[in-house]
Structure formats: C-alpha cells, structure tokens
Amino acid sequence: MPDFPEGKRYSSFVGYFRKIYGERLQKIVIDAGFTCPNRDGTVGRGGCTYCDNAAFHPAYSSAGKPIRDQIDEGIVFHKVRYRNASRYLAYFQSFSNTYAPLERLRSLYFDALSHPQVAGIVIGTRPDCVDEKKLDWLSSLADGSALPGWSRTVGGEERKAPVVIVEYGIESCYDRTLARINRGHDFACARRAVQLTAERGIDTGAHFILGLPGETREMMLEETALINELPLRSVKFHQLQIVKGTRMEKESAAVPEDFLKFTLEEYVDFFVDMLERLRPDLYIERFAGEVPPRFVNGTPWGLIRNVELLRLLDRRLEERGTWQGRLL
C-alpha cells in the first residue's frame, strides 16, 4: 500500500496541504456576483437542472457584500470549528468565477489576496469559461510575478507567491448526461480546459456528481479511467441531492427509475469501489456533501456531518483491507 498522508488509505486533500504547507489552510467561500453562460443566454438559460446556488454556500457569503467583509465574517464563522487555523484560502465558489473580463478578475482576486490572513485563492468555474490569456495570467499569479511584493508566512516559512487552485465543475464524463442536466458543454471541453490549466503549472481540481439521472453504478465506476487520464491534482465528489424548486426535482418525480438512490452504507461502499480504481496520487478533497435541510424534502442519511462521513470511509477501507488505486 502506498504511503498516504496522515496514515490514511487514500490521498486526503487536507493531508496534502499539511504536507506541502505545514498547516491547514481553511477555505472561506466568496460570492463575487458572477453568473454562468448557461443562465444568461450565451449557451443556454435556466442553469444546470440540479442547481440552486443558495444551497451550497454559507450565510456570510452573499453577492454585493465587499469581499473583505466576507473574508472577515468567514474567519469568525470558521474559528468555531477550526480554532487553530491561521491562514485561509478565498474560495470563489458561487457560479462561474472566471466568467468576466480579465481586468475584473484581476481586481477581485487582488482584493481577496490583499487580506493579511489569506494565503491564496481557489477559483471554481466551468471548463468553457477560461481561455489561454486568463490562464497565462493565473500562471503568473501562481509563480508570484503578477503580484510583486506579496508575502505570507505559511507553516513557518515565507511564501512569495499565493496558492492558486482552479477547480472545474465537470460533473460527468458522459456527454449524454451533460446535455440532460443542461451543462452547456461536453466532456471534450472539460478535458481541454484541464490540460491547458495543468500544463501552466496551476494546481487543477475537478468536481463530479455521483448519481446523475440515467447513470448506473457501472457507468460511474467506468468514469474513473477517464478521470485518471486527466492531469488533475485533486478531485471532489458529491452524491446527487435533489434540491427543492429545481428542474431536477420535477424530473426525479416524473421518472424516479432514472435516479439511483444510495443508503449511506451503500454509498460509502460504492465510493470505496471508486477509490480502488482511482490513481493513488490524486488527492480526494470530498467524497460526499451536505445540503442544509431546508433546501431538500428529506434527509435520508440523517443530519450527518462531513467529519463522521470521513470516519465511515476510513473504517470501511480498513474493514475491506483496501486502498486508493489498489485495482490499477
């Protein structure tokens, strides 16, 4: 078995940050007021069929509030759970955070990086919302040349360049699924964006949803081969959660047979099956998510926190005597 961070049986993203930077870097969610091309009519309208963005970010993060205020309030919010955190990552999460002219992006990112406790930025976006000019500039930000004089002490060492991570919402490797959920791009677009980002030396992550309509367990397990081929540093998985008021809520009521429903135990076991097929150097940031109860019609797993989900995953890996990448 490989020597995974923190003695785990998989490559944990938290462990990666502690190994590379010497401390935990806590994300603070930022809403910078972006939209998406499948909302404003550029490639479509209505957005992704599963999406209500309000269900995925905390109350301190809201469009129109100055970025520095969001960071200050986010630090107070996270101090309750992560008392030892001293450095933070400004996570531009809501909607597509490269969907603007480069000058606006520079201003927003510089604003976040000017906060004395922010060590870097994480940019959540779509594969069709980047171009080579934007990526070239992000590369210069990551190597420090775009922000001369910037400095932070992280893990006891001085850093002259911020952490820069680009996280793409890919969601599925299957074009049929992407069309059904109104993503407005295909998997080839995602593959190209990841390649262009990684070849510039920018840390690159991706997000996938498990249980999208029409996908079987076998299809999702087969996705791991395609994910392994992408030059990603990290990956984030969420189980599908049906949010009230979305088009997917209506679809799931009309054709429930098209939607896989996992019990908590089934999902943990299934994700272990996926881990066995994922290359061991791919850092796992999340394997499940939680939407606040007010946004869903039911909580079949109960009100379980992420820390308990991670304990269940660790326990199941141990029970099965397996680890990430074992079947490769």
Q: Is position 326 within any domain?
A: no
Q: Looking at the DSSP assignment, which residues form a beta bridge with residue 120?
A: 89, 163
Domain, as residue range, for 307:
5-320
Q: Is residue 192 part of a domain?
A: yes
Residue 160 placed within a domain: yes
Residue 209 lies in a domain: yes
What does the pLDDT look like over 126-165, one tens digit per residue?
999 999 999 999 999 999 999 999 999 998 999 999 999 9
How far is residue 43's CA from residue 259's CA, in Å, rounded to a whole number?
Answer: 26
- Residue 302 domain-assigned (yes or no): yes
Query: What pLDDT shows up at residue 178?
Result: 97
pLDDT for position 302: 77
pLDDT of 68 reads 95
The confidence score (pLDDT) of residue 195 equals 98
- Dig out the tokens for 248 from the structure: 């997917």
Contact in structure between 211 and 262 (CB atoms under 8 Å): yes
Residue 144 belongs to some domain of the structure = yes
The predicted pLDDT at position 53 comes to 63
Q: Does residue 24 surpass a pLDDT of 60? A: yes
Q: Pick from 73, 88, 83, 113: which is nearest to 25 by CA?
A: 88
pLDDT-derived band at 55 (thresholds 50, 70, 90) equals: low
The domain tally of the chain equals 1
Three-state DSSP at 285 gives strand
What CATH number is given to the structural domain containing 61?
3.20.20
Average pLDDT, the chain: 93
160-202 pLDDT, tens per residue? 999 999 999 999 999 999 999 999 999 999 999 999 999 999 9
Looking at per-residue pLDDT, the higher value among 209 and 40 belongs to 209
Hunting for tokens 């992408």 — which residue is that? Answer: 230
Q: 80 in the Ramachandran plot: left (φ > 0), alpha (ψ -120 to 50) or beta? A: alpha
| pLDDT reported for residue 44 | 85
What residues contact residue 221 under an 8 Å CB cut-off, 6+ apart?
273, 274, 277
Res 31: pLDDT = 94
Examine residue 325 and state whether it is found in any structural domain, yes or no: no
Element (H, E) at 306: helix 306-320
Residue 52 placed within a domain: yes
Mean pLDDT of 256-266: 95
Report pLDDT for 54.
Answer: 62
pLDDT of residue 57: 64
